[in-house]
């Protein structure tokens, strides 16, 4: 099963994450299929905090990829879930 989830990067106490599509059997920071965007929770500039390619996200959702709870809340914040529901 393909999942859309976060991969942790950065250093201790200063994380940033990649939002990736990956096989659910792969480890958290292991192989991935495609990078969908980035998430910087500690960024002080709101524009740099979330960068998601909406076209790729909707493509993977159409193909049946399941987002994790955190990614689902990020997509809801950006309005990607609403766009996907409108396409269905």
* pLDDT tens-place string over residues 19-45: 999 999 999 989 999 999 999 988 887
pLDDT score recorded for residue 87? 87
Element (H, E) at 23: strand 14-23
Exposed, middle or buried: residue 75 (CB in 10 Å: 0-12, 13-18, 19+)? buried
* pLDDT tens-place string over residues 38-68: 999 888 877 778 999 999 999 999 999 999 9
Residue range 6-17: mean pLDDT, rounded: 93
């Amino acid at each position: 099963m393909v999942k859309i989830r976060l991969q942790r990067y950065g250093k201790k106490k200063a994380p940033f994450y990649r939002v990736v599509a990956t096989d659910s059997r792969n480890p958290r920071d292991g192989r991935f299929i495609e990078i969908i965007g980035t998430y910087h929770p500690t960024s002080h500039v709101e524009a740099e905090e979330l960068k998601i390619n909406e076209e790729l996200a909707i493509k993977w959702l159409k193909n049946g990829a399941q987002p994790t709870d955190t990614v689902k809340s990020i997509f809801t914040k950006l309005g990607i879930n609403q766009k996907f529901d409108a396409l269905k």
